[in-house]
Structure 1
Amino acid sequence: MSLRAGNLNFRAGGVSLKAANLNFRASYVSLEAADLNSRAGGVSLRVSNLYFRADNLILDESEKNITLTVLFK
């Protein structure tokens, strides 16, 4: 299943991700999260492994919006 979201703000382990520029050296980034909460709609997702491709990550520096494709396996 693929999830596309604009304006995605997430916290993993109490650490918030906010950046104007992100550089990834690996093709895939793996996040181990026991509890991933989304403020939009108050939805709580529990996942063991969350992968997203670095080349699908688009940052708009003027608006500070993040657009990415999330793949759940």
Structure 2
Amino acid sequence: MITKKTFTASVLLLGVVPAVALCILNGFFPAFRDVKDPLGRPSTLSQGLIDSADQLDTLTAVLVPKHAQLADGIQALVP
């Protein structure tokens, strides 16, 4: 059976230490705003992705009928 002390040391050694090292290496120092609501309101990047998906849906709604029209036209050209 693993002891609480061994488990805590393993978690710190394998998880926390590399995470802190990567933060220091990349110059990222998390602030409160980075962790205050990670699953709630969408961030700016998430909002941008949502807007892009909406634009893709709009574009698809326009292109699908055109694709069907072109497919019918191509079939009509074949002898």
Shorter chain as denominator, the TM-score bin is: under 0.3
More relative contact order, 1 or 2 (CA 8 Å, 6+ apart): 1
Larger Rg: 2
Higher strand share: 1
TM-score w.r.t. length of structure 1: 0.17
Higher helix share: 2
TM-score w.r.t. length of structure 2: 0.16
